[in-house]
Structure 1
Amino acid sequence: MTTAHEHPATPARPAGRAAEHPPRLSVSELLPDVYKAMIRLDIAARKGLDPVLVELVKIRASQLNRCAFCLDMHTKDALAAGESAERIVQLSAWEESRHFYTERELAALALTEAVTVLTDGFVPDEVYAAAAEHFEETELAQLVAAITVINAWNRFGVTGRLTPGHYTPGDVQH
């Protein structure tokens, strides 16, 4: 069984499509202790958070990081969790499509962008304050942890050139 953020030894590809780049390495195979620790971290980070909100955050971070593998996985997981295709499609332009999301989701998306894209070297006070208005302190810490974890997964996925297109919701044990 394939688990999250792992590719099989010979990745399956959708019919008629070839990978742009062959996979480079598999953290799950080469560093199983690191992989298992990441799974545990992922589970702990999202504990108690709304699963649909977590998937929106994971999709947005993965868009920013250009991780096709994670986009494939978390889009499918979001759809399986009941998220609408329309809201997923609008995520890449959420600031112009605010009416699709709740104020809480907007605060989480803004925080996701600030934590993911640290070009200024910090998370702006106004972004953090907006998130703090919508999430109690422990929940906010969990949200920051979930954003941090997906960013780490994205870096493994992009560096390892994990191939999207073979993930099926329910394959994941975390």
Structure 2
Amino acid sequence: MTTNEITRAPQGRGPRMNLSQHAPEIYKAMVRLDAAASKGVDTVLAELVKIRASQLNHCAFCLDMHTKDARAAGEREDRIYLLSAWEEATGYFTEKERAALALTEAVTVLTDGFVPDAVYERAAEHFDETELAHLIGLILTINAWNRIAVTTRSVPGAYQPGQYKGGLV
């Protein structure tokens, strides 16, 4: 059974606040951090990392934004669809991408309280120290954006690629 009906958020479940309006210094600092962390990271890889962290954090706003940005950067639909099962999607992601995704998961879901040495070492095999530092910064930044968007209940759907240079509305 299929439907074309879009389910709307229950009353009172819309956006709670606009962080950029009420805390512009924090918002601007996040935008600067985002820009600094993204330097030197391949655009498509950065979007894959942002999508995967956003999946793990259940951030609908960021999922909407970064899947659109990934498509605009040339990412294929099948890879976006398979990202939540990247470990089982043999042949779809390079070893470098897989190492970045493993690190993304380890940093995002700190269930053991630390990032395992094997995960870090795997990433270090594919990224030099500067690239790895930026990748870690990128993962930290998307996790912070996810937490901001989920907490403020940023609403997905209206974003268009290139609309924001880092950040949320």
Same fold flag (TM > 0.5):
yes
Q: How far apart, in 1, do the equivalents of 2:33 and 2:61 lie?
A: 19
Alignment partner, residue 82 of structure 1: 74
1:33 maps to 2:35: no
Q: CA deviation at 1:16?
A: 5.0
Once the two structures are superposed, the pairs formed by residues 101-116 of structure 1 within 5 Å of their partners are 101-116=93-108
1:94 maps to 2:86: yes
Name the SS for the 1:97 alignment partner.
coil
- 1:51-74 Cα shifts (integer Å, max 9, x gaps): 000000000000000000000000
Task: Using structure 2 for the length normalisation, give the TM-score.
Answer: 0.92
Name the SS for the 2:52 alignment partner.
helix
Alignment partner, residue 136 of structure 2: 144
Q: Select 1:153's aligned residue among 145, 150, 156.
A: 145
Q: How far apart, in 2, do the equivalents of 1:32 and 1:18 lie?
A: 29
Once the two structures are superposed, the pairs formed by residues 47-58 of structure 1 within 5 Å of their partners are 47-58=39-50
Report the AA paired with residue 111 of structure 1: L
Q: CA deviation at 1:124?
A: 0.4
Q: CA deviation at 1:157?
A: 0.5
Give yes or no for contact 1:19–1:163 (8 Å, CA) kept in 2.
no
- 1:67-107 Cα shifts (integer Å, max 9, x gaps): 00000000000000000010000001111113100000000
Report the AA paired with residue 165 of structure 1: G
Name the SS for the 1:38 alignment partner.
helix
Structure 2: runs of 5+ lacking an equivalent = none
Give yes or no for contact 1:104–1:131 (8 Å, CA) kept in 2.
yes
Q: How far apart, in 2, do the equivalents of 1:131 and 1:98 lie?
A: 18
1:19 maps to 2:12: no
Alignment partner, residue 46 of structure 1: 38
Q: How far apart, in 2, do the equivalents of 1:93 and 1:16 lie?
A: 26
Report the AA paired with residue 155 of structure 2: T
Q: How far apart, in 1, do the equivalents of 2:135 and 2:75 lie?
A: 19
CA RMSD, Structure 1 to Structure 2 (Å): 1.2
Q: How far apart, in 2, do the equivalents of 1:37 and 1:30 lie?
A: 14
Task: Using structure 1 for the length normalisation, give the TM-score.
Answer: 0.89
1:133 maps to 2:125: yes
Give the share of equivalent positions with the same residue, in percent. Answer: 65
Report the AA paired with residue 139 of structure 1: E
